[in-house]
């Protein structure tokens, strides 16, 4: 496969009802105490068709539960068809239900070349039009992003090339909200597209080449890629200790995007890029090991966020850093008890080779801090402990910077991509003391494993404002039908967009 990033193939714009007459028109239906309440467009259609929709509801053909859909056929007024979307009980309608319903409708009607939504008739309560537009465009475009497959015969059924937000009064803020949703959805598309690739395809070299290919011709983007010899020359001993067990060479990738005054320091994102993780000598159990293709999800998030921001020409300076390698057992692999020297000069005793993410991030954080960014946010599928603590609803957030924590939590809430702040500090850092080196890569106890891992990372962020996102539970689903979620891209993009104001 030619290394490439997956960009959006569906566009979204505003339109008047007349402008979207050639599209499949989708109206909403609420429930009030189990009884249907038709929105104006649905009621108008129902009246014109002699109560067709009402009869369909009465006979049980359409229950109007949240996310349910029904195609009602083509008419002279709607030559490409009219459909309804169930919005569920109106008292329970929220921003989250709004986005979920929009996504389900977009996917259910993906066979239509264009879809038009009377969204202004079913906006979530206490939510601005701009915010609703952002959530809507992110949801529908993400729903229309195809899943990865290498099946010889496959049709994803996605035919939709354009989405219309129907509104009689289009404001600049509404358009801005849709555009913010588009850049978020494109970042998610890039991230999911990389994360869903199998490990034999998405190697460190593939990641590097995909970014270089996408950046070709973009005057605002500069990509620097270091090979294993350059990584060694720099003194990234922690990173190389993970990479040396594999015959697949590592890559260190730095993406610089300059969207505003070059004198302003960039916001830096750092991503864990373990393209496959066996655990090394500390071998993982075989069950669900195939999920470990997603151990580079942090890298995918960083690449998606920075490249989508660059393509959208956002007025911000960004630095995306990815340390990418495989973690495999072999005769050359690092062993428990080995001591290595990191880029920072600090020595690290390797007590568990399956604590590899913090090893590569140690050098990546040190390198990034030395570029003097405004702040650093790293994203990593780092610990099973965070999965146990929070599960899939929340990514773990660790920082000693209260203002940064506040902004990230707010961005997560606004984007429906929540994070939960967990503790970090000296009480956890002291658990990594060892007589053999400056620090060990594993705590003396299992308790508080997510916090002790974050405390390990904090040692290498130097004096730069820093936050760590543990996305082990949120980056992907598991099992036979595993797939990337694209999280925490929405939260990071919302954070960036808020900073630009």
pLDDT in tens, 147-177: 888 888 888 899 999 999 998 888 999 999 9
Active site residue 284: yes
Of the candidates 159, 162, 284, 482, the residue annotated as catalytic is 284
- Give the per-residue pLDDT at 453: 98
Q: How confident is the model at residue 81 (pLDDT cuts 50, 70, 90)?
A: very high
When pLDDT is averaged across residues 337-351 and rounded to a whole number, the result is: 98
Tokens 């890029």, located at residue = 273
In the set 134, 256, 358, 487, the catalytic residue is: 358
Confidence at residue 75, expressed as pLDDT on a 0 to 100 scale: 87
What lies within 8 Å, CB to CB, of 195 at 6+ separation is: 293, 294, 296, 297, 300, 475, 476, 484, 486
Q: What percent of the chain has pLDDT over 90?
A: 93
- pTM of the predicted model, to two decimals? 0.97
In which band, very low, low, confident or very high, does the pLDDT at 477 lie, cut at 50, 70 and 90?
A: very high
Work out the pLDDT band at 26, boundaries 50, 70, 90: very high
Looking at every residue in the chain, the average pLDDT score rounds to 96
* Position 133 pLDDT exceeds 90: yes
**Which of 179, 163, 249 is closest to 207 using CA atoms?**
249
Helices 357-369 and 449-458 pack at an angle, to 10 degrees, of: 30
Whether the pLDDT of residue 17 is over 90: the answer is: no
SS3 82: strand
User: What per-residue confidence (pLDDT) applies to 150?
Assistant: 85
What pLDDT does 344 receive?
98
pLDDT mean over 213-222: 97
Instruction: Report the pLDDT value the prediction gives residue 479, as an integer from 0 to 100.
Output: 86
Would you say residue 30 has pLDDT above 80? yes
Instruction: Please state the rounded mean pLDDT for residues 265-286.
Output: 98
Determine if residue 402 is labeled as part of a ligand binding site: no
196 is in an annotated binding site: no
295 is in an annotated binding site: yes
Q: Return the half-sphere exposure (C-beta side, CA atoms, 13 A cut-off) of residue 249.
A: 13
pLDDT tens digits for 85-104? 999 999 999 999 999 999 99
**Whole-angstrom distance, CA of residue 396 vs CA of residue 147:** 26
Q: Of 458, 273, 256, nearest to 381 (Cα)?
A: 273
pLDDT of residue 333: 98
In the three-class reduction of DSSP (H, G, I as helix; E, B as strand; rest coil), residue 229 is classed as: helix
358 is catalytic: yes
Tell me whether residue 356 is annotated as binding: yes
65 annotated ligand binder: no
Q: Which whole number is the average pLDDT over 240-269?
A: 97
Tokens at 413, concatenated? 């809430």
| CB-based contact 243:326 (threshold 8 Å) | yes
pLDDT at 501 over 80: no
CATH 3.40.630.10 residue ranges in the chain? 202-500
Categorize the per-residue pLDDT at 400 as very low, low, confident or very high, splitting at 50, 70 and 90: very high
- The whole-number pLDDT of residue 394 equals 98
pLDDT of residue 424: 96
Q: How far is CA 487 from CA 125, 192, 204, 288, 298, in A?
A: 25, 9, 21, 20, 9
What pLDDT is recorded for position 236? Answer: 98
CATH number of 11-180: 3.40.220.10
pLDDT band of 16, cuts 50, 70, 90: confident
Parts of the chain belonging to CATH 3.40.220.10: 11-180
Rounded CA-CA distance 8/109 in Å is: 18
Per-residue pLDDT, 442: 97
Task: Name the percent of the chain lying above pLDDT 70.
Answer: 100
Average pLDDT over residues 217-238: 98
**Do 360 and 226 contact (CB within 8 A), yes or no?**
no
Q: Say whether pLDDT at 190 is over 90.
A: yes
Predicted pLDDT at 20: 81
Domain 202-500 is of which CATH architecture? Answer: 3-Layer(aba) Sandwich (3.40)
Residue-level pLDDT at 313: 97
Check pLDDT > 90 for residue 21: no
pLDDT at position 70: 97
Instruction: Answer whether residue 500 shows pLDDT above 90.
Output: no
pLDDT attached to residue 19:
82
Sheet strands side by side (includes 347-349): 339-341, 347-349, 439-440
pLDDT score for 149 = 86
């Amino acid at each position: 496969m030619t290394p490439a990033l997956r960009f959006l193939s569906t566009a979204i714009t505003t339109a008047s009802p007349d402008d979207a007459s050639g599209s499949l028109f989708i109206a909403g239906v609420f429930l009030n105490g189990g009884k249907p309440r038709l929105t104006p467009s649905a009621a108008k259609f129902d009246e014109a068709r002699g109560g067709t929709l009402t009869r369909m509801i009465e006979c049980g053909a359409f229950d109007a539960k949240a996310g349910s859909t029904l195609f009602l056929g083509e008419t002279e007024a709607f030559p490409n068809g009219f459909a309804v979307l169930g919005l569920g009980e109106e008292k329970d309608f929220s921003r989250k239900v709004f986005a979920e319903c929009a996504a389900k409708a977009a996917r259910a009607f993906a066979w239509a070349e264009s879809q038009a939504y009377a969204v202004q008739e079913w906006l979530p309560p206490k939510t601005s039009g701009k915010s609703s537009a952002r959530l809507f465009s992110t949801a529908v475009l993400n729903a229309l992003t195809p899943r990865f497959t290498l099946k010889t015969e496959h049709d994803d059924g996605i035919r939709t090339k354009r989405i219309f937000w129907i509104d009689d009064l289009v404001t600049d803020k509404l358009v801005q909200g849709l555009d913010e949703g588009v850049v978020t959805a494109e970042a998610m598309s890039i991230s999911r597209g990389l994360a869903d690739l199998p490990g034999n395809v998405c190697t460190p070299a593939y990641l590097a080449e995909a970014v270089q290919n996408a950046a070709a011709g973009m005057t605002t983007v500069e990509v620097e890629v270091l090979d294993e010899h350059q990584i060694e020359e720099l003194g990234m001993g922690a990173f190389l200790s993970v990479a040396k067990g594999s015959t697949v060479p590592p890559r260190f990738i730095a993406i610089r995007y300059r969207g505003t005054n070059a004198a302003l320091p960039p916001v830096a994102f750092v991503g864990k890029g373990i393209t496959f993780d066996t655990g090394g000598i500390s071998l993982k159990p075989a069950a669900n090991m195939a999920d470990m293709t997603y151990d580079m999800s942090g890298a995918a998030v960083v690449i998606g966020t920075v490249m989508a921001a660059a393509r959208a020409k956002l007025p911000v300076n960004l630095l995306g850093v990815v340390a990418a390698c495989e973690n495999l057992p072999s005769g050359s692999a690092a062993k428990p008890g080995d001591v290595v020297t990191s880029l920072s000069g600090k020595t690290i005793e390797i007590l568990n080779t399956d604590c590899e993410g913090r090893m590569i991030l140690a050098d990546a954080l040190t390198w990034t801090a030395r570029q003097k960014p405004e702040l650093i946010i790293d994203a990593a599928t780092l610990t099973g402990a965070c999965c146990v603590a929070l599960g899939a609803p929340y990514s773990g957030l660790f920082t000693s910077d209260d203002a940064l924590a506040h902004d990230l939590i707010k961005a997560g809430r606004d984007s429906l991509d929540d994070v939960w702040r967990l503790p970090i500090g000296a009480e956890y850092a002291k658990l990594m003391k060892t007589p053999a080196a400056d620090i060990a890569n594993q705590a003396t106890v299992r308790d508080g494993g997510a916090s002790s891992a974050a405390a390990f990372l904090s040692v290498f962020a130097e004096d730069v404002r820093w936050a760590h996102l543990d996305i082990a539970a949120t980056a992907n689903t598991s099992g036979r039908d595993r797939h990337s979620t694209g999280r925490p891209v929405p939260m990071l993009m919302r954070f960036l967009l808020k900073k630009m104001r």
